[in-house]
Chains A and B, each alone.
Chain A
Amino acid sequence: MIEMKDIRKVYQMGKVSLEALKGISLRVEPGEFVSIMGPSGSGKSTLMNIIGCLDTPTGGSYFLEEKNVAGFNFDQLSSIRNQKIGFVFQNFNLLPYATAYENVELPMLFNGKPGKKRRQRVLELLEMVGLVDRQAHRPTELSGGEQQRVAIARALANDPSLILADEPTGNIDSKTGQEIMGLFVELQRQGRTILMVTHDMTIAAYSERTIRLLDGHLVEARQ
C-alpha cells in the first residue's frame, strides 16, 4: 500500500534550514491499521502530510499503490487525495456553512460523480455513521462526536483505500472517542488501510502496529 524509502523533508526558513524528516523508510501493507506516535516536533505531522499527498518530500521515494507520487504536481496530487485518501482531522474541518449532507457530498463534487449515485452514496454513508436524520444540520448544530462522524463519512465519500486520521479523538470526550474508534475498526474490517496519529496510548491500542518518531527518525516499529 505504502512504501517509503529514505524520505527527507527540509524546511527552509530564511537562512536556517530545518530537517523535519531525516530519512524515513516505511512500509504499510494493505488493510493494516497503523498508529504513529511521538512527541511534538518529532515529524509526525510532516510524515502524515507527505503520506496524505498534501506535501511533497525533499528527497526519497514514496510509492502509493505502486505509484511514485513524489514527483506529482498539485492537480495530480489533488486527484490522488480525492480518489485514494480520506482525511479525518482532529478539529473535524467541516465547511461551516454547509449541512452534514453537503459536507459528505463535497469530495464527490470534485470528481464529478453523477447526481443520483452521489445522493445514494451520501445517504449510505450517513446511515453507516448513524446520522441520516441529522443530514440537514450544520456543523454548529452537531456535537463534537457527530461532527467527527460526519467527517468520517466524508472521508469515505469516494471509497478510498487509505484513511489518514490526525488525532481523531483529540477534541471529543473519551466515551464518544471509543465510538469513533469502533468506526475505524469497522473500516479496517472492510479492508481499508488506516494510518492514525495519536498521543493517546489507549487509542493507539486499537491499531495493529505502532511506529514512533523522534527528531525526524523512525525509532521503533512495534508489532
Chain B
Amino acid sequence: MRAQLVHLFAKEFRKRKKKSALITFAIAWGTLSILLLMSFGRGLGNAFRISFKGLGDNLIMVYRGQTSKDYQGLPKGRRIMIYPGDIALLSALIPEIGLISPESNDYFTITGGGRETNRNVCGVGPGFGVMRSMIAERGGRFINEEDERSARRVAFIGWNVAANLFGGENPVGRTIVVNRVPFTVVGVMKKKLQSSAYEGFDADHVYIPHATFSRIHTQLFIDRIHIQPKRPEDNQVVERRIRQILGRKYRFDPEDDYALGIWNTIEEVEVAGRVFKGIEIFLALIGGLTLLIGAVGVTNLMYALVKERTREIGIKMALGAKRRHIVLQFLLETAFIFSKGTFWGAAIAYTIVRLTRLVPISYEITGIQTYLLRPIFSLDILVVFLVVLGTLVFLSGIFPALRASRLNPIEALRYE
C-alpha cells in the first residue's frame, strides 16, 4: 500500500472529525471505566493481602484449649496449657517450621517521657517481628537473639505507644518503666496496615524478650505460639504435626479440634485470595460485557460513516480501487480511532489511579477507604484489556469495511 494512499485516507478521515470524535470518545470512555474498575478491583484484593499480612506473614498461631473428647481414660473438658519447653520440642520435631516464637502478654502500667499509660506488654521471641511484619523505623531494631538469651531489658514499641509517651520525639535509646522495671527502647514499629487482631492492634503494644517477660510476670505457661512454615504450602502438614506432637505430650486426641486453638492464617488468606480473584474476574466480566455493548455502538457508528461516504466509495471504485483498498481504508480509520481512544482512556485512568493513591490513608482504622484508595494500575490488566478491546474494535470495524467494499459501484455512484 502506498504511503500516499494512506496519506489520502488520513486526509479524508480528518474531514469526518465530528463523527469520529464521537467514536473516539466512546472508546476512551469505555477504556477509562473498565481500567478503573479493574484497577480498583485489584487494589481491593491487594489491600486485603497487605492488611492481612499486617497480622502475620504466613502465620499459624497455636493457643491453649480445652479437650472436647475423652482420651485414654481422661475425661473431656481438661484445660490444655502450653509451656516454653514446647517451642524447642516443636522446632526439633517438625522440620517444616521456619520460624517459631512464644508469645505471652499482660497489661501493665508504663511510664516514659514523663507520661504514663496502660498497655499490653508482650513477651516474644526474635522471630516474632518477621512473622508479624513488624519493621522498625529508621535507627531502631526489633528484639534479637542476644536480647532473648540474656533476658535484656529492651523494648520494641508500637507507633501509638511512642506517640503517647514521647510525642514527636524519637524514643529510641530512651527509658520506659514497665511494672517498675526500666527498659531501653530499641525500636519503634513502622506504620502498617492490619486487618485482623487479637487483644488490640500491634500499634498499641510493647514488645519485650520472652525471657525478660518471664522474669517480670509470674505466669509459667505461654499464651500463644507463632509459627511460620518454611513453605506456605506446608501449613496443613505443620498444623497436623503440632496436634500430634502436643497431643502425645499432653495426652489429648490429635483429632480433637478444641484441645488446641489453631489459627491458620495461611489457609484463611488462600480462601480470601480466591474470593478476591473471584471479585476481580467478576469485575472483568462486567467490563467485558460493557465493552461488548460499546463495540455494538462503534459498529453502528462505523456503518454510519460508510453510508455517509457511499458516493466517494463509488468514485474510487470507478477509478480502479480494489476491494482491499476500501477495506483497508476503513480498518485504518478504525485502528486510528481505537488507538486514540484507548490512549486517552488509559492516560486518564492512569492519572486517576495515581492521584487516588496520593490520598493519605489512616492506619488507625481498617475502614473501607483503606481498600478503595489504593487502586493498582498494572501492565497485565492493560495488556489483556487492549487485546480484548482490539479484537472487539477489529470486529466492529471489519464488518462495515467489508460492506463498504461490497458496494455496487453503480449504485454507490448514484447515492445522494
Contact = CB atoms under 8 A, between A and B. Distances in A.
B322 A81 contact: no
A112 interface: yes
Nearest to A166: B413
Nearest to A79: B320
B239 interface: no
Nearest to A111: B320
B323 A54 contact: no
B315 A93 contact: yes
A75 interface: yes
Interface in B1-40: 2, 4-5, 8, 11-12, 15
B307 interface: no
Contact of B12 (A54, A89, A97, A154): A97
A73 to B, nearest CB: 10
Contacts of B11: 97-98, 102
Contact of A110 (B15, B320, B409, B413): B320
B410 A110 contact: no
B319 A107 contact: yes
Q: Which of A79, A83, A98 has the largest count of B CB atoms less than 10 A from its CB?
A: A98
Interface residues of B, number: 24
Given A55-B410, A97-B12, A110-B325, A81 B4 contact: no
Tell me what chain B mostly uses at the interface: helix, strand, loop, or mixed. helix
A128 interface: no
Contacts of B8: 98, 102, 106, 109
Interface string A83-99: 10001010001111110
Given A97-B12, A105-B4, A74 B323 contact: yes
Interface string A105-125: 111011110010010000000
Nearest to B315: A93
B317 interface: yes
Given A54-B409, A55-B410, A98-B11, A115 B4 contact: yes
A82 interface: yes
Interface of A: 49, 52, 54-55, 74-75, 78-79, 81-83, 87, 89, 93-98, 102, 105-107, 109-112, 115, 118, 154, 158
